[in-house]
Amino acid sequence: MGRSSDLFNKAKSIIPGGVNSPVRAFKPVGGAPLFISKASGSKIVDADGAEYIDYVGSWGPMIVGHAHPRVLEAIDRAMVNGTSFGAPTEPEIEMAELVVEAVPSVEMVRMVNSGTEATMSAIRVARGYTGKDLIIKFDGCYHGVSDSLLVAAGSGVETLGLPDSPGVPAALAELTMSLPYNNLDVVEQTLEKNRDKVACVILEPVVGNMGVLPPEPGFLQGLRDLCDRHGVVLIFDEVMTGFRWALGGAQELFGVTPDMTTMGKVIGGGLPVGAYGGKKEIMELVAPSGPVYQAGTLSGNPLAMAAGIETLKILKQDGTYDRLEYLSDKLATGLRGVAEKAGIPAAHNRVGSMFSMFFTESGRVHDYTTAKTCDTDRFAKYFMGMLDAGVYLAPSQFEAGFMSLAHTERDIDKTLEAAEHTLKLL
């Protein structure tokens, strides 16, 4: 930790909080964040040369593992031809074809540079399409940092206790209604009360930003039906869940097709990418084919396309999702066992290769209120114990763990040994 601490002190004087994204700071768990020097497969190495089994995976993108040789080669091949042209390229078509083929709701797709851009743009398009202004989101869901969506948001916003960010104009925040997740009745009442005023409902179909939280049976289909009844655009934010447990994401897993989908993380294979897509009828409103303006100098960047396409091709191979499921189940079942053995009350949520262990006595975590019952001090101690034992988890109770194809059974055994040792001391 010596060099990481030194680097952090240096960074703090010239970068706000010493980090370029708040969730990277170890604020909720204390201490200096690890500065990472390199990564390979399931492991990351910090500035002091210490190696850790990594379950952060760059917050989701590294599903095939760090520095996968095929992804690196693809980037290399693209790089020698130039890094950005600001003009259309053939790989953008290949990427669009892969997405349209894989994601049930997507008939047309526009590439952007981040998940934030994707959700912000999708909302603009939904507003343009419906001619309405109000949007509905859910408490604790996080859709990036655009003004309209920084309302009762999860992830770092929740972790740092900043549910309403200064700088978001009240007039804009008033157009966003945030409702309890997994509560269809409240959505129905809200849509009735605001008849003909709501443009879209946006949600994480499986929440990853207050820890992992699956939808209750019927919740997604119920939203689909309500949106159809009220002429509201249903947007699944699959920035985290896209390509995670099936190529078609949560919409494939749960068999509910939204009108629009936002993507990021995995689709960039570790380079900065986002995307939004949906029904042709809606997407054709996007400039230049329609009047809703959205643009980006680096959108569809050739290196990002190369990394993303290669990652999706790896995922398309037989057995990849079975392997992710096998490893994730082994880890989650093992963690449940060691927590029980140590007498630590916890709720264990897992959907495919995303998982959370919540330190709560509430038994079940299914919405923001139950997520908030967690003992975050206990999580902090757990986090530090795991770090000391060589396991790198997200430094917040309200973030997901991610399995990759590069993790091994040995990694999981070591993780479980570390957890057993750590939980005994809590």
- The edge-to-edge listing of strands for the beta sheet with 36-40 is 36-40, 43-46, 51-54, 391-392
Q: Which residue is nearest to ligand HOZ (CB)?
A: 21
Backbone φ, ψ for residue 348 (5° rounding): -115, 115
Contact flags string 97-136 toward ligand HOZ, x per CB under 6 A? ----------------------------------------
* Binding residue for ligand HOZ, selected from 59, 138, 219, 355, defined by CB under 6 A: 59
Q: Is 287 exposed, middle or buried (0-12, 13-18, 19+ CB in 10 A)?
A: exposed
Q: Is 155 a binder of ligand HOZ (CB under 6 A)?
A: yes
Q: Is 156 a binder of ligand HOZ (CB under 6 A)?
A: yes
Distance CA 378, CA 242 (A): 31
Contact flags string 68-97 toward ligand HOZ, x per CB under 6 A? ------------------------------
* Binding residue for ligand HOZ, selected from 209, 360, 404, 415, defined by CB under 6 A: 209
Residue 26 or 129 having the CB closest to ligand HOZ? 26
Annotated catalytic residues are 142, 237, 265
Residue reference for tokens 């760059």: 58
Residue 60 or 385 having the CB closest to ligand HOZ? 60
* Binding residue for ligand HOZ, selected from 21, 84, 189, 369, defined by CB under 6 A: 21
Residue 4 near residue 47, CB atoms below 8 Å: yes
Residue 59 or 129 having the CB closest to ligand HOZ? 59
Q: Is 251 a binder of ligand HOZ (CB under 6 A)?
A: no
* Binding residue for ligand HOZ, selected from 8, 18, 23, 300, defined by CB under 6 A: 23
CB of 392 to ligand HOZ, least distance (A): 15
Distance CA 274, CA 249 (A): 15
Residue 73 near residue 409, CB atoms below 8 Å: no
Residue 10 near residue 4, CB atoms below 8 Å: no
Q: What angle do CA 188, 154, 415 make, to 5 degrees?
A: 125
CB of 231 to ligand HOZ, least distance (A): 30
The β-bridge relationship of strands 391-392 and 51-54 is parallel
CB of 144 to ligand HOZ, least distance (A): 8
CB of 19 to ligand HOZ, least distance (A): 9
Token output for 270? 């570790």
Helix ranges restricted to H, 289-398: 302-316, 320-342, 368-371, 376-388
The sign of the torsion formed by the CA atoms of 97, 99, 103, 107 equals negative
CB of 142 to ligand HOZ, least distance (A): 6
CB of 211 to ligand HOZ, least distance (A): 10
Q: Is 140 a binder of ligand HOZ (CB under 6 A)?
A: no
Binding region for ligand HOZ (CB under 6 A): 21, 23, 59, 142, 155-156, 209, 399
